[in-house]
Amino acid sequence: MRTVPALLTAAVLATACAPSTQGPAAAPAPAPSASQDAAFDLAALVAAAKAEGSVTVYDSSGDIEDVAKAFTAKYGIQMEGVKSDSPETAEKMIREHAAGNVTIDATMYEDGGVLVGQLLPQQIVHTWIPGDLAKDIPPENQNPLMALAKATIFAYNTKLSPDGCPAKNVWDLTEPEWRGKVVMQDPLGKPTVLSFFTQLDAHGNQALEQAYQARYGKPLETKEKSAAYEWIKRLSANQPVLTGSDEDISGAVGAPTAKDSKIGFMSISKFRNNEEKGYTQAACTGMQPFAGFSYPKYAAIATKSKHPNAAKLFVHFIMTEEGVKHEIAEGGVSGNSTVKPLVVPEGLKDWKSELFHTDSAKLLADFQNRQVVSDFWRINHG
């Protein structure tokens, strides 16, 4: 089982174990606002970045390698893109900051809770908005700066279920017929799934209650704190198969050798396996009350970066279609409203209405409540 690195565990325990009703004095300091140059000059930034010579960016997706190639080709500045899970990236940036020996100049970071609860308040990183693009970035995407949003989708095998997704409602997945047949990443090692759980409790309870009423014909009755916690309890107790990678999920669900119908809870990017590997998988479109969830990926710059201008130029690049297309080519949306989605995964008809969406204003609460929901999952899955 993958676990959160020690430094992050200590930080989470120090804040998240406290009840969500705690007073302001017990909460982490608020994250500073994103900065913006008073007078932005792209040509001057390019020149300054070239003088620095290189830039290194960590990202949880291997797509960063393609971004790096495009960045280097465009500007002649050597960019190294490194694939690294969010917890490992955070721990490395914390250690480098403390030692004053920073090698990671910027990060594409998907764990918003740790970003606003630790990295930004402790000034390990900061976010910066390109002045010439500010008008194209909606206010809700500016603090912290959301570079793009990806999604985790409920998916099924179209060959084994030719009439459509065999699960029509998220509560179906808590029923005996789906015991041991939901395949997903272990939430204890996947920050975006933990955030999904806490966000559900923050602003998804009404939708879950309505879906329950539609499924069972009666109102939900629960001894748990909310509909979200009741659904999490039932899902975890139904013994989902936990993996360490979305690739494993995709293989279990959509591979040509698959014999049993399963529901996968996997990254939007794995739909590429249909073309590359001959898989037969599609999104559970129409599933009530959502077919999955979207989560932001934020762009942040190391405060002690030795290549601050090159890092800023990278942020500018990723906020344009030319840069972000390498990250959203298999599904996703840019934080820049003028950049249109390039592709929608098979079966998912509408990104906005069919997904549950992360609210960036609730990221600090995600951080504070993470240990609570982690323990709740662990107890019920055990």
DSSP string, 133-193: TGGGS-GGGBTTBEEEEEEEEEEEETTT-TTS-S--BGGGGGSGGGTT-EEEE-GGG-HHH
Whole-number pLDDT of residue 170: 98
Asked if pLDDT for residue 146 goes beyond 70, the answer is: yes
pLDDT band at 137 (very low <50, low <70, confident <90, very high): very high
Whole-number pLDDT of residue 334: 95
Please name the helix (run of DSSP H) or strand (run of DSSP E) that holds residue 13, with its range, or none. helix 6-16
Whole-number pLDDT of residue 31: 67
Bridge-based pairing of strands 292-302 and 146-157 is antiparallel
Asked if pLDDT for residue 26 goes beyond 90, the answer is: no
Convert the pLDDT of each residue in 72-107 to its tens digit: 999 999 999 999 999 999 999 999 999 999 999 999
Convert the pLDDT of each residue in 109-124 to its tens digit: 999 999 999 999 999 9
Whole-number pLDDT of residue 332: 87
Any idea where the domains of the chain sit in the sequence?
Answer: 26-148+295-351, 151-294+376-381
249: alpha, beta or left, given left = phi > 0 and alpha = psi -120 to 50?
Answer: alpha
Convert the pLDDT of each residue in 318-367 to its tens digit: 999 999 999 988 788 999 999 987 766 556 777 788 999 999 889 999 99
Asked if pLDDT for residue 240 goes beyond 80, the answer is: yes
Give the pLDDT mean for 224-252: 97
The answer to whether residues 263 and 241 touch, using CB atoms and an 8 Å cutoff, is no
Instruction: Quote the percentage of the chain above a pLDDT of 70.
Output: 90
**pTM confidence score:** 0.85
Instruction: List phi, psi (to 5°) of 163.
Output: -90, 5
Convert the pLDDT of each residue in 275-315 to its tens digit: 999 999 999 999 999 999 999 999 999 999 999 999 999 99
Give the pLDDT mean for 23-28: 42
The answer to whether residues 59 and 108 touch, using CB atoms and an 8 Å cutoff, is yes
Instruction: Quote the percentage of the chain above a pLDDT of 90.
Output: 81
The answer to whether residues 68 and 81 touch, using CB atoms and an 8 Å cutoff, is yes
Can you state the percent helix, strand and coil of the chain, rounding each to 5?
45, 15, 35
Residue 7 Cα distances to 1, 4, 89, 108, angstroms: 18, 8, 11, 20
The answer to whether residues 111 and 4 touch, using CB atoms and an 8 Å cutoff, is no
Where is pLDDT greater, at 31 or 160?
160
Asked if pLDDT for residue 172 goes beyond 50, the answer is: yes
Query: What's the CATH code, domain 26-148+295-351?
Result: 3.40.190.10
The answer to whether residues 79 and 68 touch, using CB atoms and an 8 Å cutoff, is yes
- Residue 31 DSSP code: P
Asked if pLDDT for residue 232 goes beyond 50, the answer is: yes
Give the pLDDT mean for 223-238: 98
Whole-number pLDDT of residue 23: 35
Q: Is 243 helix (H, G, I), strand (E, B) or coil?
A: strand
Asked if pLDDT for residue 1 goes beyond 70, the answer is: no
Q: Do domains 26-148+295-351 and 151-294+376-381 have the same CATH topology?
A: yes
Whole-number pLDDT of residue 29: 60
- Residue 203 DSSP code: H
What are residue 81's DSSP bridge partners?
57
Residue 163 Cα distances to 157, 258, 345, angstroms: 10, 17, 18
Query: Domain 151-294+376-381, what fold?
Result: D-Maltodextrin-Binding Protein; domain 2 (3.40.190)
